[in-house]
Amino acid sequence: MAALDVREVTVKFGGNTVLNNASLAAEAGAITGLIGPNGAGKTTMFNVITGLVTPTGGRVEISGADATGMRLHRRARIGLARTFQQLELFTMLSVRENIRVGADIHRQWSRDKGSASDLTEAIIDRVGLRAVADDRVTTLPTGQGRLVELGRALACSPKVLLLDEPASGQDDAETARFGALLRELANEGTAVVLVEHDMSLVMKVCDHVHVLDLGIMIAAGDPASVQSNPVVLDAYLGTSRAAAS
């Protein structure tokens, strides 16, 4: 059973079909990539999974539970967490305080009676933010801001973690460390779903890749097969003619 199972989801805004019978599955212990051109429907797919958008048709299952009509906070309680394409941080708070918010909320409704403070400090170290832990988040570069958002999501102990362009703003060294962290999280059993335009990161860390184009899932498979798929080359990674020339 997949940790996340999105089945034939359709989303229409007015007369526009943004997702058209699109399906996606993510396994525990694996990193699943979701790629596609700008406007393909990737963030809409995340919004359907998290409950920000109600699909016209289809079904979403999280950890085996039908979450299609489930409210946002219920989805979080059964193990879903996400980051956003546009940074969503508590701008008046420090790095530590942002992550502590997630830890406190999780402790309120979970059975975990551990110390929220200890969890916060452990996450700060894990994502590499110890040197700026007391800094207000508005002073951070974008790459570190992404790590704060990831840390806050991790404070909720997710079973399914959705990451929307998390490497944006990171340099090569930061991206390499970030990829290693994602691999660690997957190895611990988390189902990681990654929307990312950095194809080198996607192809390096993902176990499975889905490709969206104009709301339609045009390909799915291991990174090597997706990267060489002529349909994908034409739609997103380039053109099959250019690759052959």
Helices 142-154, 172-187: crossing angle, 10 deg rounding: 10
Rounded Cα gap, residues 211 and 51, in angstroms: 21
Q: What is the pLDDT of residues 196-228, one digit of tens each?
A: 989 999 999 999 999 999 999 999 999 999 988
- Domain borders along the chain are 1-79+158-245, 88-157
Share of the chain above pLDDT 70, in %: 96
Helices 142-154, 95-109: crossing angle, 10 deg rounding: 20
pLDDT, residue 227, reads 87
Decide if pLDDT at 244 tops 80. no
Full DSSP string of 122-191: HHHHHTT-GGGTTSBGGGS-HHHHHHHHHHHHHTT--SEEEEESTTTT--HHHHHHHHHHHHHHHHTT-E
Report the Cα 21 to chain-centroid distance in Å. Answer: 21
Helical spans, DSSP H, in 57-141: 72-77, 95-109, 116-126
Q: What would the two tokens of residue 57 be?
A: 């048709």
H or E element: which one contains 19?
strand 16-26
Decide if pLDDT at 245 tops 70. no
pLDDT, residue 107, reads 83
CATH class (in words) of the domain with range 1-79+158-245: alpha beta
pLDDT mean across residues, the chain: 91
Q: What would the two tokens of residue 132 be?
A: 């700026």
Decide if pLDDT at 37 tops 80. yes
Q: What is the pLDDT of residues 80-132, one digit of tens each?
A: 999 998 888 999 999 999 999 999 988 887 777 778 999 999 999 999 999 99
pLDDT, residue 240, reads 46
Rounded Cα gap, residues 157 and 165, in angstroms: 20
pLDDT, residue 241, reads 40
Q: What would the two tokens of residue 82 be?
A: 């996400």
CA proximity to 193, closest of 180, 181, 207, 177: 207
Full DSSP string of 55-78: -SEEEEEETTEE-TT--HHHHHHT
φ, ψ for residue 167, nearest 5 deg: -90, 0
Q: Report the relative pairing of strands 31-35 and 57-62 from DSSP bridges.
A: unpaired
Q: What would the two tokens of residue 117 be?
A: 């403070």
Residue 109 per-residue DSSP state: H
pLDDT band at 23, cuts 50/70/90? very high
Task: Give the length of the chain.
Answer: 245
- pTM, two decimals, is 0.92
